[in-house]
């Protein structure tokens, strides 16, 4: 072997070339700076196995390449000195006589080194990239935190806004109530005053006799009040009528034919105007029917103004109206006029007269009050209307009866679940006064069943119930009805219990024994969607001439009423405002509205809004008077 270093392969190669016996097959080149493989076949078969332990020429060439040997190509024009087949290899340091240079022949690494270098470079760039990413991540995290904080702040703000809204709402309700009470108080004051002027017979308008600074606002308050009255009276009468509906078949049937324009009457006359059929009944009084051709006059027992106005505005809107004259009332002294108004959401009771109590039969003759009613086609003076013992009316008034009926667009349907008959009765009574349709379940199972078959707007659920308690009933109901508000009525209002109720799907808690106010607030909270949104802008304002003794409307379209009516109205309405059921059960007859002041307001509305569809606009301007959808299925 050799005493010099260098890679084994190079040494083997050198040694192989030193062997002269192979010179025909492989030898140094002519200049000694290259070597030539002359016979590839022989080289592959004999020499390679001997020196390199393989017989693969290609791999030998590859090996050479690795050590940076280069094949010397023969140019085409000069013949190779070693023959066509010869392969000549050259390496600058591989020379015949320079054995010591073999050390310097190294395996080629540049490519690898390059790679490594590039990897290093890559690593460097990766590192910078990484830090970049890292900082990006950091930035993003920071941003995220900021966003979160911002969101937090926003939701906090949102909550406080909601809270404010709720408070505002509460305040609004409270204000409403306050207004109501105020109005009530003022009206009562007025009534007392006028009562003293009236005695048995009404004379003179309050405006004349008691010129107070309150008058204009009083008129407005009267108006507002009258809405309340109408609302309550409507409801009461609906109740009354629905109770009687069974015995008076035609009423029931009329109500069922909801969209047909039907007039049913037992007496009186029908005047049809613009698809409005109208029926007047004045059994004990002179009938105005022969005169009411173009317009419509309604005379109910103690007032006529409002119904007439309702109807005239209806006629303006050419709405279909069904007037039901209660057959029952024709036998009585009173009339009941119900206009079923098939607009918007089903039927609306627009005007309800009243069912005069029996007392009035005796007093009616003595208490007739003249009212002049004029319409555009004819002026007919209608000897009007009894006032049933005004004295009594003012005497029975109760200040505390100041609840107002919320202005429902549709009366909420309430399911009252209680096994206690006392609560059933009180609850239904309250709900009835609030203008709700009521159904009662006496235990949990029937509550679940009822919920299964009917849709309610609100459920008042006692907790301790036979068969299935309120909590479990609620759990079951929630399986098929996740939405209907269920209020827990309970005397057990510890925090723990309340949490239990709420976690079982109840929406709120109404402590027992509940008060009227509590119940009302629940109703208003959970049946808000059924309320008519008040729009105070459209409330007719009283004109400055409100206290004129007699007013003739400029358009002759409305009614000028005797001032007495005003008084009449004042004293008559009192008990009604105070006690909802007086409408049909007690002496003072229900007055929807009356007085020239109201007429003026009405005419103002009609005139200014060019045939304002007063009733059609109910959703807007009817802030106190609910649209009643007559539900005759009211369960009591």
- Residue ranges binding other proteins (CB under 8 A): 357-359, 361-363, 388-389, 391-392, 394-401, 419-423, 425-426, 429-430, 433, 462, 464, 491, 512-513, 515-516, 579, 581-582, 585-587
Q: Give the C-alpha separation, 119 to 122, whole Å.
A: 5
Q: Give the C-alpha separation, 630 to 238, whole Å.
A: 7
Q: Give the C-alpha separation, 632 to 246, whole Å.
A: 10
Beta bridge partners, 509, equal 488
Compute the half-sphere exposure of residue 384: CA atoms within 13 Å on the CB side of its CA.
Answer: 28
Between 379 and 492, CB nearer to other proteins: 492
Smallest separation (angstroms) from other proteins to the CB of 516? 6
Contact 393, 611 (CB under 8 A): no
Residue 207 burial (C-beta neighbours within 10 Å; 0-12, 13-18, 19+): buried
φ/ψ region of 59 (left if φ > 0, alpha if ψ in -120 to 50, else beta) reads alpha
Between 382 and 465, CB nearer to other proteins: 465
Smallest separation (angstroms) from other proteins to the CB of 248? 19
Q: Which residue has the tokens 């109901």?
A: 477
Between 205 and 634, CB nearer to other proteins: 634
Q: Give the C-alpha separation, 341 to 23, whole Å.
A: 127
Smallest separation (angstroms) from other proteins to the CB of 469? 11
Tokens of 595: 């007085």
Distances (CA, A) of 209 to 206, 430, 547: 5, 38, 10
Smallest separation (angstroms) from other proteins to the CB of 589? 11
Sign of the Cα torsion 156, 157, 162, 167 reads positive
DSSP 3-state assignment of 391? helix
Smallest separation (angstroms) from other proteins to the CB of 239? 12
Between 73 and 400, CB nearer to other proteins: 400
Between 319 and 397, CB nearer to other proteins: 397
155-176 core/surface letters (b: 16 or more CB in 10 A; e: else): eeeeeeeeeeeeeeeeeeeeeb
Between 347 and 352, CB nearer to other proteins: 352
Tokens of 256: 């069922």
Smallest separation (angstroms) from other proteins to the CB of 399? 7
Sign of the Cα torsion 612, 536, 554, 370 reads positive
Q: Give the C-alpha separation, 288 to 341, whole Å.
A: 23
Smallest separation (angstroms) from other proteins to the CB of 579? 6
Tokens of 121: 């470079």
Phi, then psi, of 376 in degrees rounded to 5 = -75, -25
Smallest separation (angstroms) from other proteins to the CB of 318? 39
Between 228 and 394, CB nearer to other proteins: 394
Tokens of 376: 């555009």
Contact 255, 237 (CB under 8 A): no
Between 33 and 469, CB nearer to other proteins: 469
Q: Give the C-alpha separation, 265 to 234, whole Å.
A: 19
Between 207 and 588, CB nearer to other proteins: 588
Helix segments in 504-555, DSSP class H = 516-526
Smallest separation (angstroms) from other proteins to the CB of 177? 15
Distances (CA, A) of 390 to 63, 367, 387, 568: 131, 9, 6, 8
Sign of the Cα torsion 570, 572, 577, 578 reads positive
**Other C-beta atoms within 10 Å of 313: how many?**
23
Query: Comparing C-alpha atoms, which of 410, 377, 415 is closest to residue 556?
Result: 377
Smallest separation (angstroms) from other proteins to the CB of 424? 9
How far is CA 263 from its chain centroid? 38
Between 260 and 362, CB nearer to other proteins: 362
Q: At what angle do helices 596-608 and 305-317 cross, to 10 degrees?
A: 10
Beta bridge partners, 279, equal 270
Smallest separation (angstroms) from other proteins to the CB of 470? 12
Between 227 and 430, CB nearer to other proteins: 430
Smallest separation (angstroms) from other proteins to the CB of 395? 4
Between 333 and 592, CB nearer to other proteins: 333
Smallest separation (angstroms) from other proteins to the CB of 418? 8
Between 139 and 395, CB nearer to other proteins: 395
Smallest separation (angstroms) from other proteins to the CB of 313? 31
Between 157 and 425, CB nearer to other proteins: 425
Smallest separation (angstroms) from other proteins to the CB of 329? 15
Tokens of 374: 């004029």
DSSP 3-state assignment of 459? strand
Between 276 and 634, CB nearer to other proteins: 634
């Amino acid at each position: 072997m050799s005493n010099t270093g260098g890679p084994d392969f190079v040494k083997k190669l050198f040694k192989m070339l030193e062997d002269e016996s192979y010179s025909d097959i492989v030898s140094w080149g002519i200049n000694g700076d290259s070597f030539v493989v002359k016979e590839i076949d022989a080289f592959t078969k004999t020499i390679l196995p001997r020196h390199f332990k393989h017989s693969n020429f290609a791999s030998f060439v590859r090996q050479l390449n690795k050590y940076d040997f280069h094949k010397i190509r023969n140019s085409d024009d000069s013949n190779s000195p070693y023959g066509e087949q010869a392969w000549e290899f050259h390496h600058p340091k591989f020379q015949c006589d320079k054995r010591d240079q073999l050390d310097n022949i190294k395996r080629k690494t540049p490519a690898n080194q390059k790679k490594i270098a590039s990897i290093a470079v890559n690593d460097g760039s990766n590192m910078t990239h990484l830090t970049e990413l890292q900082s990006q991540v950091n930035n993003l995290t920071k941003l995220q935190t900021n966003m979160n904080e911002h969101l937090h702040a926003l939701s906090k703000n949102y909550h406080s806004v909601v809270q404010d809204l709720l408070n505002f709402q509460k305040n609004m309700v409270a204000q409403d109530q306050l207004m109501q009470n105020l109005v009530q108080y003022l009206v009562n004051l007025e009534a007392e005053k006028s009562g003293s002027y009236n005695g048995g017979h009404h004379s003179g308008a309050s405006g004349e006799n008691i010129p107070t600074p309150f008058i204009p606002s009083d008129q407005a308050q009267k108006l507002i009040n009258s809405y309340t009255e109408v609302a309550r009276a409507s409801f009461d009468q609906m109740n009354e009528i629905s109770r009687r509906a069974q015995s008076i078949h035609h009423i029931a049937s009329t109500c069922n034919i909801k969209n047909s324009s039907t007039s049913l009457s037992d007496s009186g006359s029908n005047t049809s105007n613009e698809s409005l059929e109208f029926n007047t009944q004045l059994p004990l009084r002179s009938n105005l029917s022969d005169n009411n051709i173009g317009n419509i006059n309604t005379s109910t027992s103690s007032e006529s103004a409002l119904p007439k106005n309702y109807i005239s505005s209806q006629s303006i809107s050419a709405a279909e109206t069904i007037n039901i004259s209660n057959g029952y009332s024709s036998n009585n002294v009173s009339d009941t006029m119900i206009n079923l108004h098939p607009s918007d959401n089903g039927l609306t009771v627009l005007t309800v007269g009243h069912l005069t109590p029996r007392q009035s039969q005796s007093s009616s003759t003595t208490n007739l009050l003249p009212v002049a009613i004029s319409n555009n086609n004819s002026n007919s003076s209608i000897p009007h209307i009894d006032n049933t013992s005004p004295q009594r009316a003012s005497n029975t008034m109760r200040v505390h009866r100041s609840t107002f009926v919320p202005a429902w667009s549709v009366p909420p349907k309430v399911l009252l679940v209680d096994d206690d008959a006392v609560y059933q009765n009180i609850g239904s009574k309250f709900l009835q006064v609030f203008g709700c349709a009521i159904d009662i379940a006496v235990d949990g199972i029937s509550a679940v069943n009822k919920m299964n078959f009917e849709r309610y707007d609100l459920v008042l659920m006692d907790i301790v119930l036979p068969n299935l308690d309120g909590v479990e009933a609620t759990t079951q109901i929630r399986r098929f009805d996740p939405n209907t508000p269920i209020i827990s009525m309970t005397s057990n209002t510890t925090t723990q219990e309340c949490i239990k109720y709420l976690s079982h799907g109840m929406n709120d808690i109404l402590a027992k024994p509940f008060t009227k106010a509590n119940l009302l607030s629940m109703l208003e909270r959970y049946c808000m969607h059924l309320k008519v949104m008040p729009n105070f802008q459209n409330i007719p304002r009283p004109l400055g001439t409100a206290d004129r003794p007699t007013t003739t409307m400029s358009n002759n379209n409305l009614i000028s009423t005797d001032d007495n009516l005003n008084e009449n109205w004042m004293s008559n309405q009192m008990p009604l405002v105070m006690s909802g059921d007086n409408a049909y059960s007690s002496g003072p007859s229900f007055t929807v509205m009356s007085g020239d002041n109201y007429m003026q307001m009405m005419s103002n509305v009609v005139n200014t809004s060019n045939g304002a569809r007063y009733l059609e606009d109910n959703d807007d301007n009817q802030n106190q008077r609910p649209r009643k959808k007559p539900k005759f299925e009211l369960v009591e």
